[in-house]
Structure 1
């Protein structure tokens, strides 16, 4: 089995079709108010549990603010494995911007997010697998999961949530993924296709899938992608790059001897960066080395040292989901260590989840969103230590080849400054499929500005970068 290293959150995108009116969701799931928010919802919000096999999977559904009956439905999953999809909800593209409460730890203040994905799509945030976020079971054995079981449970959730929302199949749904969704998305997509062939009810009008910065579980991820990325971005010198190339000879699976020493040098050079967005600020614990006199003193002009300072009420977010599993810790067959286990080995960088933790562990918030209290579902954590997650699916390349050759569209995209799962590896594995290039490398434009680059392949496969 190929080795892989999993990092942060994930999203998954598939195209389905729901029935004519998502507004027909049962009134019992309707959210009428949210502590910390004093405005008017631009569209209806619904939430609750889908229950099966002693598992209670929690979802939060936002009706599109544009055209619910025609806009796609997006299913968002954060990965980890074991991280809650409320990470995406609170910190990335949810309906609200969260302002830290005063004093710290008090209830946050919510403002409407003008860039929410709900502006253009219906969106479901799902805590998966069971044991993550608000999802729970009274049977502890249900917290044992792997790639294939997670895909099967998510497919089961989709079938049941369609009935819950009283929809039939006319509107497209997107499952979109990042990082672990490099695994979640193809495996779920394969489950959806199997269900279609078996004529499972309701029939899902599956059109394709999207994956953002997702691991593919192949030789292309990990250090094989990170080393050239770090060099190309100017994070390591020519000398360091040439040294690691000589020492490792392109084999990073089990670095030993001089290869391991060279990799340690690169590790040190990258220390302190936000791995999930190298241009973004990074939260550092006050006890970390980043706060020592050695690091704060500098010969740089004071104006350079203060770059990025702001007095805006909604400050640049310090916690940019830069957590990552140790870069060089490729996982072997068996279980993944949990995030809390990794934190015991040393500080997990760039993590500060105070706002989400304060909001989602407030009992009035949980009551408003129809989540069970902490006494039943447990306290909300950004990444859970409850689940026991294991390998199961192997390399994702056969999944991609099987799905795309059956005619399903695939958009594989990467943030160009994401060092967690660098675009260099994603570009390499999409190219390795050997499909004919039908849209040669070019820029794509948004609001009259270059927003990234893309290359289109046969079988409806597109690789795309996003300038972030």
Structure 2
């Protein structure tokens, strides 16, 4: 009897431990689904004929103490040699612009087929100049509230530059743990526009993590920035010099404003009448110049006919309200006026990404967002990194490579301002200003800088705007392919 009681007690204890183990495994599985392993391979997409000829994965990675932030990502495996090609984390600017912009309008494998699209049913085609031909790319909807990324608490929607960097680092660590085969690939952090603030800080965080032994150790090789914001005051201030160089204002007006405003064109002393007068003339000269590309038409039909008067250096972008109105009608308004207006192209993304069939295909969690927006202008976001310049300066003491490129017709973040802060790093000039070529034509101009450890390549892309790959995809693919291979541009 005693032996029987002992056996029963043993069996009860074993059964209890088994239940506990099963419960633990279940909790781990649930945690994995909500965290690092919630991903799906997408074989086809609405609007694209047939199966996708590349590997597309979408998913969520939970970050934060209780994974209250759920980051959505698109991952496209390299179409050439995924085992050895670089792994790129791509961050779109804004802050608040979806990674979908980078994927479909800039460097990803898909484009909207405008010629064959209906207003309410956009179709997709392949981008022959996709960077995924030579790299594995993670397109991340960051910060939280961007694209399909969401939070499980209201408090978690409050974010900032520094909080966004921490969340991005957490994301990348978890993503790599769930995809360990990419740990050996050369890793590059990349992005454009406002990501110029975020990327250098994130690179610094990764470098620090590697140095103190945080796992997984990342094979970080460098970073890439296109049309990057760096010190926004200086970036905007450089628009006057850019305007003078592009003959948008006269040499006489430029010299007068430079003298009367003492080189300060943003924080103007309103009691300085000579400066105010010059800036009013400048504003008149620039008020209908398209900042993302100065040669493209001003879209009067989309921008309000009686726009709110902005300071000269502020962008007058197409508004979210305008996009919402235009995307809700059955036919494009005044098609002749829309011709040549690039902003019109962005509306197709609203129609496509808000289609429930599309969200089902992408495995977007139902009820996680109210409405998808290409750029969410209503983020609860604090810009607490006024400049990323010091982070660039810190990184020049490490064994990294960087590529900084600018469209030379971009007035949002002019190349002259970008080149000025690069010069201020006081690196050694390894190769002075010279043209780089594609198909026997000048693709832009480039300089190379270095010190004992660090290499920086600066490049302009001739005829491109903000951002460069949207306007000159062929040239930008050639540029990045050469740079990845460590060839001169």
Task: Specify if TM > 0.5.
Answer: yes
User: Does 2:259 correspond to 1:246?
Assistant: yes
Secondary structure of the residue that 2:239 maps to in structure 1? helix
Larger helix fraction of residues: 2
Equivalent-residue separation in structure 1 for 2:420 and 2:55 (angstroms): 42
What is the deviation of 1:243?
A: 2.9
Equivalent-residue separation in structure 1 for 2:461 and 2:189 (angstroms): 19
Unaligned runs of 5+ in 2: 1-35, 324-340, 465-489
Listed as ranges, the matches of 1:369-384 within 5 Å are: 369-373=362-366, 375-384=367-376
Secondary structure of the residue that 2:293 maps to in structure 1? coil
Secondary structure of the residue that 1:51 maps to in structure 2? strand
Distance change (3 Å), C-alpha of 1:138 and 1:385: farther
Distance change (3 Å), C-alpha of 1:283 and 1:61: farther
Listed as ranges, the matches of 1:231-270 within 5 Å are: 231-255=244-268, 256=270, 257-270=273-286
| Residue number in structure 2 paired with 1:189 | 203
Please tell me whether the aligned partners of residues 272 and 290 of structure 1 are also in contact (alpha carbons under 8 angstroms): no
What is the deviation of 1:286?
A: 5.2
What is the deviation of 1:262?
A: 2.1
User: Does 2:392 correspond to 1:392?
Assistant: no
Please tell me whether the aligned partners of residues 117 and 123 of structure 2 are also in contact (alpha carbons under 8 angstroms): no
Q: Deviations over 1:429-462 (max 9, x none)?
A: 1111122222111112223222111122223122
User: Larger relative contact order (C-alpha < 8 A, sep ≥ 6)?
Assistant: 1
Equivalent-residue separation in structure 2 for 1:154 and 1:186 (angstroms): 12
Please tell me whether the aligned partners of residues 72 and 173 of structure 1 are also in contact (alpha carbons under 8 angstroms): yes
Equivalent-residue separation in structure 1 for 2:134 and 2:200 (angstroms): 24
Equivalent-residue separation in structure 1 for 2:138 and 2:225 (angstroms): 16
Secondary structure of the residue that 1:88 maps to in structure 2? helix
Q: Deviations over 1:13-71 (max 9, x none)?
A: xxxxxxxxxxxx97951002100111332221100111122011000011111111121
Equivalent-residue separation in structure 1 for 2:314 and 2:379 (angstroms): 20
User: Between Structure 1 and Structure 2, how many residues are aligned?
Assistant: 398
Structure number with greater Rg is 2
User: Does 2:243 correspond to 1:230?
Assistant: yes
Distance change (3 Å), C-alpha of 1:456 and 1:102: closer
What is the deviation of 1:270?
A: 2.1
Please tell me whether the aligned partners of residues 62 and 124 of structure 1 are also in contact (alpha carbons under 8 angstroms): yes
Equivalent-residue separation in structure 1 for 2:136 and 2:164 (angstroms): 23
| Residue number in structure 2 paired with 1:98 | 112
Distance change (3 Å), C-alpha of 1:232 and 1:287: closer
Unaligned runs of 5+ in 1: 1-24, 292-324, 331-337, 344-348
Equivalent-residue separation in structure 2 for 1:210 and 1:273 (angstroms): 28
Please tell me whether the aligned partners of residues 161 and 384 of structure 2 are also in contact (alpha carbons under 8 angstroms): yes
What is the deviation of 1:424?
A: 0.6
Equivalent-residue separation in structure 2 for 1:359 and 1:272 (angstroms): 30
Equivalent-residue separation in structure 2 for 1:446 and 1:372 (angstroms): 43
Please tell me whether the aligned partners of residues 30 and 45 of structure 1 are also in contact (alpha carbons under 8 angstroms): yes
Normalised to the residue count of structure 1, the TM-score between the two structures is: 0.78
| Residue number in structure 1 paired with 2:349 | 356
Distance change (3 Å), C-alpha of 1:240 and 1:158: same
Normalised to the residue count of structure 2, the TM-score between the two structures is: 0.75
Equivalent-residue separation in structure 1 for 2:274 and 2:92 (angstroms): 36
Distance change (3 Å), C-alpha of 1:441 and 1:58: same
RMSD: 2.9
Distance change (3 Å), C-alpha of 1:404 and 1:251: same
